[in-house]
Amino acid sequence: MKSKKRFGILGLTLFFFAFLPLQTYAHDPEVRGNGDGNLFQHYTWFEILNPLLLLLLMLIYIVYLWTMRKISNRSLGERKFRKKLSFLLGLLTIYVSLAGPIAILSNNLILSAHMLQQSFMYIVMPPLILLGMPREFFQFLDERLFKPRFLRILKSPLLSLLLFNALWSFYHIPPIYEFFLEQFILLEILHIVLNTSAFLMWIQVLAPEDQINEMSYLKKIGYMFANGMLITPACALIIFAGDVIYPSILEAPQVFTWLTPLGDQQLGGIIMKVVQEFSYGAAIAYVFFKWARLERAKDAQIDELPSSAVE
């Protein structure tokens, strides 16, 4: 079986995962606590730990390992371990976000937990997954997924930049956020669209130099700075609002006595901005040091040339 077909199987597995009903992730009103007593007492261990999600993520990782073992490219060398670790951390980020305390608190309208969950899923998880992918994966996207003319626009860095930040910012406008909060199916679709736009945004920076786009290292660094600037207004709106702008926060159970509704809202905005700054800063450092290594390699090649050849 060719590597492209293996990546097709991996992509199909991820596709079905995207459409798995994730009740706590989508803030399903049917699985919220009633606000009495300890919030977690309203859930069974099965609902809290979500073992089905864990099993699905394990299946995805097994398919990934099988794909990595079978690909023909042997040039990965020792980088195979780092890629496998990065992909595993990406899957663990999904589990931490969609199961356990973060998911339960988020589903019960705790905005700070919601922001942490969203930041993990859109800002932390996609780069970890992409860093775990070998070159063949990006070739597969370039030659198959982005080959049709109407899909080539998805390779545009400007479109990816504006699409992700616009979707995430508009989603957190209070009336829009409150509307989707009670619309389970629409919210599930929205999360899938946001996740897709997040991957499109990140792939512009993390794809190999000759794949997806032709952005230079300097442009990639500027691209990440632009991402940070575009998301700042939404964070500022949430952090510096003098009153509670999300009415749903007032319906949330008082899980922590020290966390008022306004404090929860402000903490959510701070979490959103801090996670974004850390992740984008790490991406800029990654691109910069990769650029520096390339320049050092070029200098070393020049130094190895005979003096007559240099002249």
pLDDT of residue 224 exceeding 90, the answer is yes
pLDDT of residue 2 exceeding 80, the answer is no
- Average pLDDT score over residue span 255-280: 91
Q: What is the DSSP code string of the chain?
A: --HHHHHHHHHHHHHHHHTS--TTTTT-GGG---SSS-GGGGS-HHHHH-HHHHHHHHHHHHHHHHHHHH-S--TTTTHHHHHHHHHHHHHHHHHHHHSSHHHHHHHTT-HHHHHHHHHIIIIIHHHHHHHTS-HHHHHHIIIIIT-SGGGGGGG-HHHHHHHHHHHHHHHTSHHHHHHHHT-HHHHHHHHHHHHHHHHHHHHHHHS-TTSS----HHHHHHHHHHHHHHHHHHHHHHHS-SS---GGGGGS---STT--HHHHHHHHHHHHHHHHHHHHHHHHHHHHHHHHHHHHHHHHHHHHS-HHHH-
- Ordered by start, the domain boundaries in the chain are 3-310
Q: Tens of pLDDT along 164-208?
A: 999 999 999 999 999 988 887 888 888 888 998 999 999 999 988
Query: Residue 245's pLDDT is what?
Result: 93
Query: Residue 162's pLDDT is what?
Result: 93
- Average pLDDT score over residue span 232-238: 89
Give percent of the chain above pLDDT 70.
81
Query: Residue 259's pLDDT is what?
Result: 87
Query: Residue 72's pLDDT is what?
Result: 53
The pTM is what? 0.84
